[in-house]
Structure 1
Amino acid sequence: MKFRGKIVDVACLNHFTRVVSTISKLTKTCALRLTPDHLFFVLCGKVASGGVAMWCELAQANIFDEYQMEGVSSQDNEICLEVTPENIFRALRTVHNAKSVKVKLTKKHCPCLTVAAELPTMSSVNRVVTHDVPVDVIPRRLWHEFKEPSLPDFDVSVYLPPLKTMKNVVDRMKNLSNFLVVEANLSGQMTLKIETDLVSVTTHFKDLGNPHWGDRTSQDGGSQSPRDLDAMAQARVDIRKLQQFLVGQQVNPSRAICNIVHQTVLHLILLHQDVSLQYFIPALA
C-alpha cells in the first residue's frame, strides 16, 4: 500500500482543514478510506442500536495538487485506515501558512500519516515541520462495514433553516431537556420542540422548501395515495447529538437537508462544492 498527496494551494489546505475540523467535532475515531478519486471519512455506528453514523465524501482532485495511491491489490484498489480526526486537524492547523504540505502513509514505530510542511523562511534554507499521526490499518475483511450508506426511505425531506439560527435555538433548548422532537412536512415547515413536566417550548420555521428526489415512494406515494403535504413526520432525538452536529459544522454548506423517517431516524446532509457530509441520528421512543 502506498499513499502520497501534496497540497500547494492555500485555499485547498484551509478547506481540507475545515472539513477535518468538522469531522473531529463529530467523532473521536473513524475510518479514512482512500481511493484513486476520493477520500471518505466514515463512522459506522449502529443506528438501530442507538449509535450515530456518518459519511463524508471529498473529491481528491479538489484538495491535492499531486495525488498517488496504490491499494492493497489491483482488484481492491483502496486503503482503509482507522484515524483520530483531532490529531490530523492539529497537524494541519499548525501548518496553515505553509508553502506546501505533503501527506503520506509511512511506517515508523507504527503506521502513520506523516504531514510534512515546507514553511516560508527569510533565508535560502528550507524549513520543514513534520507531524507523524498514528493510524491503524483496517484489514480487508472488515471493509464491508465502511461502505456508503443507502438513502433511507424517508417520509419527509426538507431544507434546513440557517444552521447558526438552528444552533442558537438548540443551545437554548438543551438547558431545558435532554431530548428534542424534530418535525417537518412537505409544505416546507419544520418545528423544534421540547416537552417536559414543567415546560413546553416550540420553535417554528416555514417556507424552507422541499428537495426533489425524483420518483421516490416516500415523496410521491408511489402506487399508494400521496402523502398529505401538511402531515408532520417526526423524530425524537438526543439533543446533545444534534447539538454536536451543529457545533462542529465548519463546512459552510451551500445546501443543508433534513430527511426524517417517522419515529426512526433523522438524516442530515450538508453539501458544499466537492464535499458531502451525511449524519444519521437515531430516533428515541
Structure 2
Amino acid sequence: MRFKSQIRNVNLLAKFCASLASLGQIAWCRLNDEDVQFTIIPDKGSQVWSVLRPEMIFDTYILQSASPQNTINLEVPIQALSRALKSALGSTSTQIRLTKKNNVPMLSLTIVTNTFSSGNNVVAAANTARERAGAGAFDFDDNDLSFNETQGEAARERETVITQDIPVKVLAMEVVERLHQPRTPEPDVNICLPPLTQVKTISERFTRLALATTKTSSSVSPRLELSANMYGSLKISVKTDALNISSRWTGLAHPELDPAFFPDMANHPTTRMKELGGPNGENEAGWSKVRIDAKDWSRVLSVGRVCTKVIACFINEGALVLYVYLPADEHGDEGDPCLTYYISSFDA
C-alpha cells in the first residue's frame, strides 16, 4: 500500500478541509485512481460527500494498493489535517504521503519554505524540524541537514523543512461498503443561491435575534425556515414568540435540467411547482420549504470560502441538498459539483 503526492494547490485544499472540519472531527477519505473523496457523517447535523479530481490538487499522484483501482480508505482527523495544511500556506513545496511510524499509520506532510536573510555566516545549516500535528513538540533530526554558502553581508537563502504527522486509520473495504449517499426524491425546486457570504450574514443575524428574543436556553439552536420557488426567489425566515422576520432574494437563476437525463420534464416536480406558483410565482403552493438548525446551517455556509457556485435543491418539508462547485481549472472547466451537503428538515 502506497500513497505519495506533491500538492499543487495548497490554498484550495486548505480551504476545502477547513470547510469540512467545521462539520465534524473525523472524515472518511477514499483515494483511488480516478478521484479523491472525503465524507463526513456526524452523529447529528448535515452530511457532506465530496469528490475531487486528483489533478485539481496534486501535481503527482502515486497510488498503489491491492484493492480495485488502487483504492485506499482512511479515517482521517480532518481538523488536524486542516491545521497542518494551514501551516503549509506560502510554502515552496508541500508533499503528502502515507507512512507508518511505531506501527501507527500516518499522513505525513513535508513542508518546505525558503526565506532570504543577510548575515556574516560563511556556512548556514537549514532548519529541519519535525512536528506532530497537535502535539506542539519538535523532534530535530541531526541527520537531515543542508548547507548554504554565503559571503560577507550577501543575502543567503535559508530552507526550512517541517514534517507534520497526522495519525490515521486504514479501513478495510468491508467496513466502508455499507456507506452510501442518502437517497432523496426529485426536488421540487432547484435554484442557484446568492453569494454564501450574504446568506451567512443574514442567517447569523437572524439567529442572534432569535436567541435574544426567546425564553428557551441559549444552548438550543433556533430553527430557520428556508423557502424557494421556481420564479427565482429565495426566502430565509425566523419566528419566535416575539419575532417574525424574513429576508428575500429575487432574480436568482434556475439550473437547466438535461432532457437526456430527465425525458419527462412535463411531469417533473419542478414543472408542477412552477405551475402551482401561478403567473407571478407568489401563490403559497408554489413555494418549497424546509426548517433547519441555525447553527448547523452556519457551519455548512463556511464552504463559501472556497466555492464559486451553489445549487440548492428543495424537497418540500423533507430535506435541502446543496451542490457546491469549486473554481474552474486552468482550462475554464467548472466540472461536476465537488461537494454535496444533505440537510434534513425539522417538522413544523
Whether 2:108 is the aligned partner of 1:114: answer yes
Whether 2:214 is the aligned partner of 1:160: answer no
Alignment CA distance shift 1:222-1:174 (3 Å): closer
Residue type at the aligned position of 2:91: A
> In 2, distance between residues paired with 1:70 and 1:150?
32
Q: How does 1:225-236 map to 2 (within 5 A)?
A: 226-227=272-273, 228-229=276-277, 230=281, 231-236=286-291
Q: Say which of 126, 135, 142 aligns to 2:168.
A: 135
> In 1, distance between residues paired with 2:264 and 2:288?
11
Q: Say which of 267, 290, 295 aligns to 1:221.
A: 267
Which structure 2 segments of 5+ residues have no match? 117-123, 125-145, 148-158, 212-221, 329-334
TM-fit CA distance, 1:51: 3.9
Whether 2:226 is the aligned partner of 1:179: answer no
Alignment CA distance shift 1:35-1:193 (3 Å): same
> In 2, distance between residues paired with 1:220 and 1:162?
31
Q: 2:254 is paired with a residue of what secondary structure?
A: coil
Residue type at the aligned position of 1:52: S
Q: How does 1:17-32 map to 2 (within 5 A)?
A: 17-32=14-29
> In 2, distance between residues paired with 1:224 and 1:263?
15
- Residue of structure 2 equivalent to 1:196: 240
Query: Number of residues paired by the alignment?
Result: 277
> In 2, distance between residues paired with 1:223 and 1:35?
36
Q: 2:14 is paired with a residue of what secondary structure?
A: helix
Alignment CA distance shift 1:137-1:259 (3 Å): same
Q: Say which of 66, 74, 87 aligns to 1:81.
A: 74
> In 1, distance between residues paired with 2:97 and 2:71?
14
TM-score where L is the length of structure 2 = 0.73
> In 2, distance between residues paired with 1:14 and 1:225?
40
- Structure label with greater radius of gyration: 2
Bigger drift between 136-145 and 103-112 goes to: 136-145
Q: Say which of 150, 168, 177 aligns to 1:144.
A: 177
> In 1, distance between residues paired with 2:301 and 2:270?
36
TM-fit CA distance, 1:42: 0.6
Whether 2:345 is the aligned partner of 1:279: answer no
Alignment CA distance shift 1:223-1:239 (3 Å): closer
1:155–1:219 CA contact under 8 A, matched in 2: no
> In 2, distance between residues paired with 1:209 and 1:280?
21
- Residue of structure 1 equivalent to 2:292: 237
1:39–1:58 CA contact under 8 A, matched in 2: yes
> In 1, distance between residues paired with 2:269 and 2:56?
42
Q: 2:241 is paired with a residue of what secondary structure?
A: coil
Alignment CA distance shift 1:38-1:118 (3 Å): same
Report which structure shows greater RCO (CA 8 Å, sep ≥6). Answer: 1
> In 1, distance between residues paired with 2:319 and 2:291?
9
Bigger drift between 78-87 and 21-30 goes to: 21-30
> In 2, distance between residues paired with 1:225 and 1:267?
18
Alignment CA distance shift 1:108-1:225 (3 Å): closer
Q: Say which of 39, 43, 61 aligns to 1:42.
A: 39
Whether 2:102 is the aligned partner of 1:105: answer no
Whether 2:263 is the aligned partner of 1:205: answer no
1:32–1:83 CA contact under 8 A, matched in 2: yes
> In 2, distance between residues paired with 1:218 and 1:138?
42
2:187–2:270 CA contact under 8 A, matched in 1: no
Whether 2:30 is the aligned partner of 1:33: answer yes
Bigger drift between 21-30 and 140-149 goes to: 140-149
Residue type at the aligned position of 2:24: T
> In 2, distance between residues paired with 1:58 and 1:224?
29
Which structure 1 segments of 5+ residues have no match? none
> In 1, distance between residues paired with 2:304 and 2:195?
12
